[in-house]
Amino acid sequence: MRIFGIDPGSKNTGYGCIDTEDSRFRFVVCGAVTVSPRLPFSERLTGIYDGLTSLLAKYQPACVAIENVFYARNVSSALKLGHARGVAMLAAAKAGLTVTEYAPTEVKRAVVGYGRADKTQVREMVMLLLGLDTAPSPDDASDALAIAVCHANSASGPPETRGVSSGPRSWRQYRPRDRRP
């Protein structure tokens, strides 16, 4: 199954595409859709949309995974990031793809095993999991690959793994079995 990960940004929107088969991952492509910060914001959004639309048409993924907005230094930054996410989600929806969102801590936990991992740890694990000799560049591309790996490892990930559970994912999900005969 081909998964396309997106790390949205108003200047650089990272993307990463992987193929999955069972528990193995294969790198397809990564990079960033970059728009000039000097352009009016509406033109930057158009550039992000056009770039992602072209990439989705070229690589034909089965689904898209995108990072949720979690924090911004100020309200204006959060709004701009939200607009970029909306444009990315629109590009995926127009391509007929399902979009799944993941919190940054969820991505880090799925890739590194620790929800507060730093960017270096995430990048190193992405390299290891995908068998890459060099680090994905820019950092937005590495993050997008991590989002795709997270989706591949999640319950909402590839159809061949949906419904297959190795038990509760956290103590909050634990339900004791009724042991009555």
Containing 14, the helix (H) or strand (E) segment is strand 12-21
Phi, psi angles (nearest 5°) of residue 148: -65, -40
The verdict on whether 118 is a catalytic residue reads no
Kindly name the residue from 19, 50, 67, 133 that is annotated as catalytic: 67
Q: Which of 7, 19, 118, 139 is catalytic?
A: 7
Instruction: Based on the residue annotation, tell me whether 50 is a catalytic residue of this protein.
Output: no
Give the Cα separation of 35 and 10 in Å (integer): 8
Residue from 140, 143, 160, 178 carrying the catalytic annotation: 140
Nearest Cα neighbor of 62 from 92, 103, 85 is 92
Distances (CA, A) of 135 to 12, 68, 140: 17, 23, 11
Catalytic residue flag (residue 43): no
Q: Catalytic residue positions?
A: 7, 67, 140
